[in-house]
Amino acid sequence: MLLTYVTAMVNPSLRDGRLPASQKTAIITPLLKKPSLDAGDLKSYRPVSNFTFLSKVVDKIVVGQLVEYLQSSGLMPRLHSAYRRHHSTETALLRVLSDIFCADDRQHVTLLGLLDGAS
């Protein structure tokens, strides 16, 4: 019975390509980045957004459809880890380490550049 209501709410979002205004809100909670930081300093906090149940359902469905399309069309990069089943930061790290060890076995120099988008 609940599935009928959720389906009736999700399908228009998928058809129209947008969420209803009622689903575009979030409760934003400031969380301390680390327990050791000063709780009185606003820079010690990061915002965490809690979205509505329906917006999360629509998000999961859209991601699932997009990933399925990209995979079936051969457009998903083979080594892409995000949003893929059985792929994670651990599998990405294992791949990088494997490449480094193989290069070392061949006596090649390895240079690893890491970028962090955090400010």
**Model pLDDT for residues 30-46, shown as the tens digit of each residue:** 999 999 999 999 999 99
Interatomic CA distance for residues 99 and 111, integer angstroms: 11
Per-domain boundaries in the chain? 2-76, 79-119
Give the closest residue to 56 by CA, choosing from 1, 10, 16. Answer: 10
Name the one residue in this structure whose structure tokens are 């820079």. Answer: 43
**Model pLDDT for residues 58-97, shown as the tens digit of each residue:** 999 998 898 889 889 999 887 777 767 788 888 888 989 9
Mean pLDDT across the chain, nearest whole number?
A: 89
